[in-house]
């Protein structure tokens, strides 16, 4: 059932996925549904809704990623980082979250589904000091743009991009962007079966 739905949604989004990638995406949904009962990792309970609201919602960003090294800040159970890692095996993703139960779940996903290009890290974002900076800083449903930029300012390379996944756009929030940053592009995203607004904001240091 989930496999057929996934194939339909991928075709609708014009995303091609190998058999292994499809198995890993479904495996991730199944693990999330199973662990969710005990650990309350997401408010979405139904696997079919997880497929739409978590997997496809994350994958809409995939075509816009530029570079090799990414960090997913406040990743929760690994969103959007794990679906993006599955679909971009040539890119590396650090998954950052401050809650141990979420990191334990990510490590189990990494082990069971053999996803070799993710690194789960348990830390608050302001305390995390990476040796190498990132080409892209991803955040989904994470604080305001102001908070994202002030807390994550030390993470990207000089030319690195912030990718903020948003629902409805808040003009006031956009106008209050801190000095030294500029909005490069606003992309309207379309998620199959989701009748809600989705946007990707690409922000760069000036």
Q: Is 125 annotated as a binding residue?
A: yes
CA 111 and chain centroid, separation? 19
Is position 79 annotated in a ligand binding site? Answer: yes
Question: Of 194, 148, 192, whose CA–CA distance to 170 is shortest?
Answer: 148
Parallel, antiparallel, or unpaired: how do β-strands 69-73 and 92-97 relate? Answer: parallel
Q: What tokens appear for 85 in the block?
A: 């890692």
How far from 148 is each of 90, 125, 143, 177, 205, CA to CA, in Å?
Answer: 26, 10, 6, 10, 13
Contact between 101 and 46 (Cβ < 8 Å): no
Inter-residue contact 64 to 88 (CB < 8 Å): no
User: Left, alpha or beta for 98 (phi > 0: left; psi -120 to 50: alpha)?
Assistant: alpha
Q: How far apart are CA 80 and CA 78, in angstroms?
A: 6
Q: Does the annotation place 45 within a ligand binding site? A: no
Enumerate the known binding-site residues. 74, 79, 125-126, 140
Enumerate the known binding-site residues for S-adenosyl-L-methionine. 74, 79, 125-126, 140
């Amino acid at each position: 059932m989930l496999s057929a739905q996934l194939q339909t949604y991928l075709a609708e989004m014009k995303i091609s996925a190998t058999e292994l990638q499809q198995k890993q995406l479904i495996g991730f949904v199944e693990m999330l549904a199973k662990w969710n009962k005990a650990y309350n990792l997401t408010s979405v309970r139904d696997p079919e809704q997880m497929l739409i609201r978590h997997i496809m919602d994350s994958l809409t960003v995939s075509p816009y990623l530029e570079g090799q090294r990414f960090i997913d800040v406040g990743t929760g159970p690994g969103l959007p980082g794990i679906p993006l890692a599955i679909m971009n095996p040539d890119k590396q993703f650090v998954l950052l979250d401050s809650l141990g139960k979420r990191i334990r779940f990510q490590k189990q996903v990494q082990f069971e589904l053999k996803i070799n290009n993710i690194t789960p890290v348990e830390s608050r974002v302001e305390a995390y000091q990476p040796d190498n900076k990132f080409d892209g800083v991803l955040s989904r449903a994470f604080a305001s743009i102001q908070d994202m930029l002030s807390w994550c300012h030390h993470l990207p390379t000089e030319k690195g991009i912030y990718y903020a996944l948003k629902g409805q756009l808040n003009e006031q929030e956009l106008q209050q962007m801190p000095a030294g940053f500029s909005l490069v592009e606003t992309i309207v995203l379309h998620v199959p079966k989701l009748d809600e607004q989705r946007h990707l904001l690409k922000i760069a240091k000036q």
